[in-house]
Amino acid sequence: MSKSSSSNSSSTTQNQMGNTTTTNPFYTTRTNDKGEITTTFNNGTAGQTVYNTVNQNIGRLLDNYLNPSLDNVTDQAKLAQFRKNMGETAQNTLQNNILNPLIKNNMIRSSQATNMYNNMQNQMNDSISDYTNSLLADSQNNSWNMINNLANLYSQAYQGVSANQGTGINAAFGNNTSSTSSSSKAK
Protein backbone atom coordinates (compact mmCIF):
# COMPACT_ATOMS: atom_id res chain seq x y z
CA MET A 1 0.00 0.00 0.00
CA SER A 2 1.18 3.40 -0.75
CA LYS A 3 0.64 6.48 1.28
CA SER A 4 -0.39 9.67 -0.38
CA SER A 5 -0.21 13.06 1.10
CA SER A 6 -1.96 16.15 -0.04
CA SER A 7 -1.50 19.73 0.92
CA ASN A 8 -3.46 22.92 0.51
CA SER A 9 -1.56 26.07 -0.17
CA SER A 10 -2.64 29.63 -0.79
CA SER A 11 -0.94 32.80 -1.68
CA THR A 12 -2.24 36.34 -1.22
CA THR A 13 -0.77 39.45 -2.75
CA GLN A 14 -1.81 42.80 -1.43
CA ASN A 15 -1.07 46.05 -3.27
CA GLN A 16 -1.10 49.32 -1.45
CA MET A 17 -1.01 52.67 -3.18
CA GLY A 18 1.80 54.90 -2.14
CA ASN A 19 1.53 58.45 -0.90
CA THR A 20 2.11 60.83 -3.81
CA THR A 21 1.79 64.49 -4.62
CA THR A 22 1.39 65.52 -8.24
CA THR A 23 1.59 69.21 -9.07
CA ASN A 24 1.24 71.21 -12.24
CA PRO A 25 1.00 74.99 -12.53
CA PHE A 26 -2.73 74.93 -11.75
CA TYR A 27 -3.53 71.97 -9.46
CA THR A 28 -2.05 69.77 -6.78
CA THR A 29 -3.29 66.20 -6.37
CA ARG A 30 -2.46 64.10 -3.31
CA THR A 31 -3.06 60.39 -2.89
CA ASN A 32 -2.59 58.43 0.28
CA ASP A 33 -2.10 54.78 1.15
CA LYS A 34 -5.86 54.37 1.63
CA GLY A 35 -6.51 55.27 -2.00
CA GLU A 36 -8.03 58.65 -1.13
CA ILE A 37 -7.46 61.40 -3.67
CA THR A 38 -7.72 65.14 -3.09
CA THR A 39 -7.12 67.82 -5.67
CA THR A 40 -6.84 71.51 -4.92
CA PHE A 41 -6.27 74.57 -7.04
CA ASN A 42 -2.91 76.21 -6.59
CA ASN A 43 -3.38 79.66 -5.06
CA GLY A 44 -3.68 82.57 -7.46
CA THR A 45 -4.15 80.46 -10.58
CA ALA A 46 -6.69 80.96 -13.33
CA GLY A 47 -8.39 77.70 -12.33
CA GLN A 48 -8.90 78.92 -8.78
CA THR A 49 -10.13 82.30 -10.02
CA VAL A 50 -12.64 80.69 -12.40
CA TYR A 51 -13.83 78.26 -9.72
CA ASN A 52 -14.35 81.05 -7.18
CA THR A 53 -15.94 83.42 -9.71
CA VAL A 54 -18.44 80.83 -10.90
CA ASN A 55 -19.37 79.77 -7.38
CA GLN A 56 -19.76 83.35 -6.18
CA ASN A 57 -21.83 84.57 -9.15
CA ILE A 58 -23.84 81.71 -10.60
CA GLY A 59 -26.80 82.23 -8.24
CA ARG A 60 -27.10 85.92 -9.06
CA LEU A 61 -26.69 85.28 -12.79
CA LEU A 62 -29.38 82.59 -12.79
CA ASP A 63 -31.69 84.93 -10.90
CA ASN A 64 -30.98 87.72 -13.43
CA TYR A 65 -31.69 85.30 -16.26
CA LEU A 66 -34.96 84.04 -14.77
CA ASN A 67 -36.07 87.48 -13.54
CA PRO A 68 -34.51 90.10 -15.81
CA SER A 69 -34.69 93.68 -14.57
CA LEU A 70 -33.39 97.10 -15.43
CA ASP A 71 -32.12 97.72 -11.91
CA ASN A 72 -28.59 98.55 -12.93
CA VAL A 73 -26.83 101.79 -13.72
CA THR A 74 -26.18 101.00 -17.39
CA ASP A 75 -29.76 100.09 -18.32
CA GLN A 76 -31.17 103.02 -16.33
CA ALA A 77 -28.84 105.41 -18.18
CA LYS A 78 -29.79 103.90 -21.57
CA LEU A 79 -33.49 104.22 -20.79
CA ALA A 80 -33.16 107.79 -19.52
CA GLN A 81 -31.19 108.80 -22.63
CA PHE A 82 -33.74 107.12 -24.90
CA ARG A 83 -36.62 108.98 -23.21
CA LYS A 84 -34.78 112.30 -23.36
CA ASN A 85 -33.83 111.97 -27.04
CA MET A 86 -37.26 110.75 -28.03
CA GLY A 87 -39.05 113.46 -26.09
CA GLU A 88 -36.95 116.26 -27.50
CA THR A 89 -37.08 114.95 -31.06
CA ALA A 90 -40.81 114.24 -31.02
CA GLN A 91 -41.66 117.57 -29.40
CA ASN A 92 -39.53 119.57 -31.84
CA THR A 93 -40.76 117.66 -34.86
CA LEU A 94 -44.42 118.06 -33.94
CA GLN A 95 -44.06 121.71 -33.03
CA ASN A 96 -41.79 122.91 -35.85
CA ASN A 97 -42.76 120.70 -38.76
CA ILE A 98 -46.47 120.18 -38.19
CA LEU A 99 -48.18 122.53 -35.76
CA ASN A 100 -46.38 125.81 -36.47
CA PRO A 101 -47.06 125.72 -40.24
CA LEU A 102 -50.70 124.75 -39.64
CA ILE A 103 -51.21 127.47 -37.02
CA LYS A 104 -49.45 130.04 -39.18
CA ASN A 105 -51.87 129.34 -42.00
CA ASN A 106 -54.84 129.21 -39.65
CA MET A 107 -55.49 125.60 -40.57
CA ILE A 108 -55.81 123.99 -37.12
CA ARG A 109 -57.91 124.41 -34.01
CA SER A 110 -56.54 124.06 -30.50
CA SER A 111 -58.44 120.81 -29.91
CA GLN A 112 -56.76 119.30 -32.94
CA ALA A 113 -53.34 120.39 -31.64
CA THR A 114 -54.18 118.84 -28.28
CA ASN A 115 -55.15 115.59 -30.01
CA MET A 116 -51.85 115.62 -31.90
CA TYR A 117 -49.91 116.07 -28.67
CA ASN A 118 -51.89 113.26 -27.01
CA ASN A 119 -51.29 110.94 -29.97
CA MET A 120 -47.60 111.81 -29.90
CA GLN A 121 -47.46 111.01 -26.18
CA ASN A 122 -49.18 107.65 -26.72
CA GLN A 123 -46.74 106.77 -29.49
CA MET A 124 -43.83 107.81 -27.29
CA ASN A 125 -45.13 105.63 -24.45
CA ASP A 126 -45.41 102.68 -26.86
CA SER A 127 -41.87 103.29 -28.09
CA ILE A 128 -40.56 103.50 -24.53
CA SER A 129 -42.34 100.23 -23.67
CA ASP A 130 -40.85 98.55 -26.73
CA TYR A 131 -37.38 99.85 -25.87
CA THR A 132 -37.77 98.72 -22.24
CA ASN A 133 -38.75 95.23 -23.41
CA SER A 134 -35.72 95.21 -25.69
CA LEU A 135 -33.45 96.18 -22.77
CA LEU A 136 -34.97 93.39 -20.65
CA ALA A 137 -34.39 90.86 -23.43
CA ASP A 138 -30.81 92.11 -23.82
CA SER A 139 -30.29 91.82 -20.07
CA GLN A 140 -31.56 88.24 -20.10
CA ASN A 141 -29.44 87.40 -23.13
CA ASN A 142 -26.34 88.96 -21.51
CA SER A 143 -26.97 86.93 -18.36
CA TRP A 144 -27.29 83.74 -20.41
CA ASN A 145 -24.08 84.48 -22.31
CA MET A 146 -22.23 85.07 -19.05
CA ILE A 147 -23.62 81.83 -17.57
CA ASN A 148 -22.57 79.96 -20.70
CA ASN A 149 -19.06 81.47 -20.67
CA LEU A 150 -18.56 80.73 -16.98
CA ALA A 151 -19.88 77.17 -17.40
CA ASN A 152 -17.40 76.60 -20.23
CA LEU A 153 -14.52 77.95 -18.13
CA TYR A 154 -15.70 75.85 -15.17
CA SER A 155 -15.81 72.77 -17.39
CA GLN A 156 -12.26 73.40 -18.59
CA ALA A 157 -11.10 73.73 -14.99
CA TYR A 158 -12.90 70.48 -14.13
CA GLN A 159 -11.22 68.71 -17.05
CA GLY A 160 -7.88 69.95 -15.76
CA VAL A 161 -8.66 68.58 -12.29
CA SER A 162 -9.66 65.22 -13.79
CA ALA A 163 -6.48 65.04 -15.86
CA ASN A 164 -4.31 65.87 -12.85
CA GLN A 165 -6.13 63.26 -10.77
CA GLY A 166 -5.44 60.68 -13.47
CA THR A 167 -1.76 61.58 -13.38
CA GLY A 168 -1.83 61.38 -9.58
CA ILE A 169 -3.44 57.93 -9.63
CA ASN A 170 -0.91 56.65 -12.14
CA ALA A 171 1.91 58.01 -10.00
CA ALA A 172 0.39 56.43 -6.89
CA PHE A 173 0.19 53.02 -8.56
CA GLY A 174 3.74 53.44 -9.70
CA ASN A 175 4.66 54.15 -6.09
CA ASN A 176 2.75 51.21 -4.62
CA THR A 177 4.05 48.45 -2.38
CA SER A 178 3.23 44.77 -2.59
CA SER A 179 3.26 42.16 0.10
CA THR A 180 2.75 38.47 -0.46
CA SER A 181 1.89 35.95 2.18
CA SER A 182 1.80 32.22 1.65
CA SER A 183 0.42 29.47 3.76
CA SER A 184 0.37 25.79 3.32
CA LYS A 185 -1.26 22.92 5.24
CA ALA A 186 -0.26 19.35 4.93
CA LYS A 187 -2.84 16.60 5.27
Average pLDDT over the chain reads 82
Residue 91 pLDDT: 84
Largest CA distance in the chain: 146
- Measured between alpha carbons, how far is 68 from 61 in angstroms, rounded to an integer? 10
Closest C-alpha among 42, 69, 51 to residue 142: 69
- Banded model confidence at residue 24, pLDDT cuts 50, 70, 90: confident
Asked whether 69 and 136 are in contact (CB, 8 A), the reply is yes
pLDDT in tens, 34-43: 778 888 888 9
Domain boundaries, the chain: 15-180
User: From the CB of residue 143, how many other CB atoms can be counted at a distance below 10 Å?
Assistant: 19
Decide if pLDDT at 81 tops 80: yes
pLDDT in tens, 153-168: 888 877 877 777 777 7
Mean pLDDT in residue range 138-159: 88
**pTM of the shown model:** 0.61
What does DSSP say about strands 27-31 and 20-23: parallel, antiparallel, or unpaired? antiparallel
Decide if pLDDT at 76 tops 90: yes
Decide if pLDDT at 178 tops 90: no
